[in-house]
């Protein structure tokens, strides 16, 4: 099954979606930390622009780590929405600067995180049909 086509009608499908989103958030945090090290050294941390860039990138990495842990526990809808919003801003920024690779990578992460948000909301609000089968086995 493709990562953009998640089956949320079963508990296993929703848990798989949140698990994949957790891994995607951890990988995203790793990318942001590498970007923090690279761009922090490139811009320099001795001026306001460098400090602001490093702070915002660090904050984004921290939010992705928190969302990743929440997704791995089967929750994380609100943290996932925040990370998805930051990814949407990243996609817009990449479009403005014509960085096609950044658009593709951010879009893949965006789709996986949105599927994780859907999975977390399904785990919270849905009674799955496969839970009824356990009583008769």
| DSSP codes, 28-88 | HHHHHHHHHHHHHHHH-SSSHHHHHHHHHHHHHHHHHHHHHHHHHTT--HHHHHHHHHHHH
Q: Tell me, what's the pLDDT at 52?
A: 84
Q: Calculate what percentage of the chain has a pLDDT beyond 70.
A: 85
What is the separation, in whole angstroms, between the first and last Cα of the chain? 28
Rounded Cα–Cα distance for residues 120 and 72 (Å): 10
Query: Which residues have C-beta within 8 Å of that of residue 105, sequence separation ≥ 6?
Result: none
* Confidence check: pLDDT of 1 > 60: no
C-beta atoms surrounding 42 within 10 Å: 9
**pLDDT tens digits, 113-129:** 999 999 999 888 767 66
**pLDDT tens digits, 64-74:** 999 999 999 98
Mean pLDDT of the chain: 86
Q: What share of the chain is helix, strand, coil (3-state, %, to 5)?
A: 80, 0, 20
**pLDDT tens digits, 86-121:** 999 999 999 999 989 989 999 999 999 999 999 999
Rounded Cα–Cα distance for residues 28 and 32 (Å): 6
Q: Tell me, what's the pLDDT at 11?
A: 83
45 vs 12, residue with greater confidence:
12
Q: Tell me, what's the pLDDT at 118?
A: 92
C-beta atoms surrounding 59 within 10 Å: 12
**28 falls in which pLDDT band (50, 70, 90)?**
very high
């Amino acid at each position: 099954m493709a990562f953009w086509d998640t089956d949320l009608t079963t508990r296993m499908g929703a848990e798989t979606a949140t698990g994949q989103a957790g891994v995607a958030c951890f990988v995203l945090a790793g990318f942001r930390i590498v970007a923090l090290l690279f761009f922090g050294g490139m811009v320099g941390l001795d001026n306001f622009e460098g400090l602001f860039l490093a702070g915002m990138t660090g904050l984004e990495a921290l939010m992705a780590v928190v969302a990743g842990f929440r997704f791995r526990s089967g929750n994380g809808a609100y943290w996932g929405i925040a990370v998805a919003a930051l990814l949407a801003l990243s996609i817009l920024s990449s479009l403005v600067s014509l960085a096609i690779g950044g658009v593709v990578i951010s879009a893949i992460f965006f789709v996986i995180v949105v599927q994780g948000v859907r999975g977390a909301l399904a785990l919270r609000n849905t009674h799955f049909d496969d839970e009824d089968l356990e009583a008769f086995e």
